[in-house]
Structure 1
Amino acid sequence: MQPLSLYLLILNAVSLIVGAVIGYYVRQSIVKKRKGTIEAKLQKKVTQTKQETEEMVAAAKAEARKVLADAQQEREERRRELSKTEQILLKREQLLDEKLSAFEVKENDFEVKLKKLKEARERIVQMKDEVQKRLEGLSQLSEKQARDLLLKEVEDKCQGELIERTQKLKQEGEERVKIISKEILVGAIQRYALSQAQEVTTTTLTIPSDEVKGRIIGKEGRNIKTFEKLAGVDVIVDETPETVIISGFNPLRRHIAKIALERLVKDGRIQPARIEEALAKAKEEIEEQIQEYGERAVVDAGVVGLPLKIVQLLGRLHFRTSYGQNVLLHSLEVAHLSAALAEELGLDAKVARKAGLLHDIGKSVDHQIQGSHVDIGIKILEKFKQDPEVITAMKAHHEEYPAESSEALLVKAADQISGARPGARRDTVENYIMRLKELEDLALAFPGVATVYAVQAGREIRVFVKPEEVGDLEAYKLARDIADKIQRELNYPGEIRVNVIRETRVMEYAR
């Protein structure tokens, strides 16, 4: 068994070795075949790539040759163009040289002529001086004296004609301006007519009987003193039957006092405590009325967008008067006139209307704040952020500020029209006489004035001059000077006409 096992073992070993050798050679054969196939494929790929590369290189060379040829052609074309441009520039340079030469020739010729002209001018001036000296020697007058003499002769000869033409032109201009302004003003005024209530400084209260007067006065005058102290007015109880007069310059206080006193009289219980209570209720009622007056005014004027506080201040103007003219009604009249004038002239009627309504808004509080009512009104409108155009238009109506817009001139004109309208305002006799005297004294201060009369309520002055001191031309100048001085020094509503009258009387006797 052992030899057989050994034999099998040897046989297996030999078979294993032979199989390994055969497997090696078979594998090598397969590898060689595969290697040959891959190398063939690689060789084919290399050959194909080389062929494509050669084709691309050939195409690139052909493209490069084409680009080079195009570049050479373009360079040649540019060279030819530059050559043409150079030829043109050379021709232009040659032409400029020719023109410059011609200009130099003309310049030399001009200098020669200019020199000759200067020499001729010098000779003319010299000859003129010689002729002037000869003339002065013959006439025994200097140049200035001769000129003055000639001008004086011309002035004397043409004086009458100059006066006539000046007066004619002035008259034609004034008539034309009056016609146009009258058409505009009459049209504007006729579009709005406002009734005016002439306020006074007293209010009359009718009582049921004279027995009530005793209760109003009270024991030792206690009631009337308390009433006057709290109301800020004077209560006049006199012999007038069934009548009590409330006096005071503040219409608002008078109205409050009237309402309170009417209630006290109706109630019958008049004593200090009741007086204080009645006045407090009257003030509350007046505040409501003020609001109503302001709202009515805003609606009547056609103005929208006003703050509530400004509406209340407008209502207070109902209880203010200026020379007897109700300020709220006056403001309404100015608003309507300003708007009408603006529409006639093609200006901003909205701004003119609003500025006219608010131009006296400062009068509603001017007793509480220092400053003129114009300055106070400006502060009020600025505080409530009103339009700058409205403030500009309202602040110039008393000439405290210059008129910076056309609407400002319209508001100023409407304010003067409303105040100067006959019956709109009242004035005291003393102020009226004083104003006329100031007007006459102003004209009398001019030299050559003999007599001055102020007529038509101060709207016209007639100035009689001394004919031996004032000639026709001087009379015209005197009228202008007097009018200018009136404008500078006096305050007046409307317009003042200045008439200068020069009368020459010649008397002779026949014997």
Structure 2
Amino acid sequence: MDNTIIIVVAAVVGLAIGFVIAKMMEKGKASKTISNAKKEVADIIKQANKEGENIKKDKIFQAKERFLELKAEHEKVIINKDKKIAEAEKRTRDKESQISNELAKNKKLNEQLQSQIKEVSHKSEILDKKYSETEKLHKSQVQQLEVISGLSAEDAKSQLLESLKETAKTDAMAYLQSTLEETKLTAQQEARKIVINTIQRIGTEEAVENCVSVFNLESDDVKGRIIGREGRNIRALESATGVEIIVDDTPEAIILSCFDSVRREVARLSLHRLVTDGRIHPARIEEIVKKTEKQINEEIVEIGKRTVIDLGIHGLHPELIKAVGRMKYRSSYGQNLLQHSREVAKLCGVMAAELGLNPKIAKRAGLLHDIGKVPNSEVEVETPHAILGMQWAQKYGEKKEVCNAIGAHHDEIEMNTLISPIVQVCDAISGARPGARRQVLDSYIQRLKDLEDIAFGFNGVQKAYAIQAGRELRVIVESEKVSDDKAAELSFEISQKIQTDMTYPGQVKVTVIRETRSVNVAK
């Protein structure tokens, strides 16, 4: 590379010299120019050689530095590898030493084990010899005893067993008699203690149930819209829900009267929707009532689910869950049926736990014991609610203990499990609290149900509602099956049937409603 530079420089210098000489020759100063050019060329060559040497030295120095750096890095890598190899060799030596120690320990333990095995074998041989000697001595002693007593070993054993049996029987009878007497003295006291503790641990509010609901209004102006022209809106609402709607001078309030809580709730929610929406007319009323009935059915299922979850009851059939939800809208002797059943379930769980029984099964039986009081329309009313509830439980796969407890809690069938008396006792506890039940209200509600059942016993009856506290029976018939003349005759027949079969205060007005509708759709 240095030689190339020198050559290039020399060529450039030569060209310069030629150019200078040419110029000098043109101007006539050739000799002087040549001499000057030679000096300059010599200086240039000298300077070029000097710079070339400097460049050569720099390159050599850089190469040496790079070589030293590479050498240092290589030595560093070699040192690291040597270090890792040394560490690996050290770990290997440590493991070898550890393995040697373990082998030595195992060898020592093996030797100890072998010595112990030999010792055990020796002791076993000694025990076998002693056992054989003992057997020989026992046989000889038995033979000597037989000779002395004149009895064989089997005869002596039989006599001994008979004497022991008589003694044990006498002692057992004496102990049993004393235990029974002690149990009789303490059983009643313990039973009372369990019942009292159970009642104290379950504290619930007293049930209150009535037959009216108050629907509050924002202003009395809404009353006129609810009544409608010539009372058509209120008649449509009463006909669709079966609830008597009382509009009086009470400010900003309407009273809904019906013994059936479900109907009353449907009427209340329907009125709320109609008043909120503002469109109140017969067609709209029927539409809202149908939607509300569907909503109530969904709410019944949701109430049943929440109840079984709160009580920790699992795996209940959906139909039984619906029956539990329907209890919210039923009453028994004035006591809300769902609240009563929840209370009985909790009491049964506590009492079963006190007696060492399964509290989950007891809770289940306590919750379902009154499901026969919420029957479907297809079920005959004459069946006692305990038997009906037991049949439902059997139909939907409940256990025998639960079914027996449901059917036997009013002694309709024989009790064959310990859960059954617990359910009966807890049912009595729940109903015996002060103010829990009202016999008069229950008989009143039953009388209203009987009124409706009489109407349903006639052909062509579509709906029947007992209103005005049982003083009026409103019957809606199917227009296709019952004519106008037949409607008047039907009203008389129902009134005669009520007069013959029922006992009631005052008089009952029977109103038969027949309505004909013609509906067409314009497309």
TM-score (norm 2): 0.47
Q: Which one has more relative contact order, counting CA pairs under 8 Å at least 6 apart?
A: 2
TM-score, structure 1 normalization: 0.48
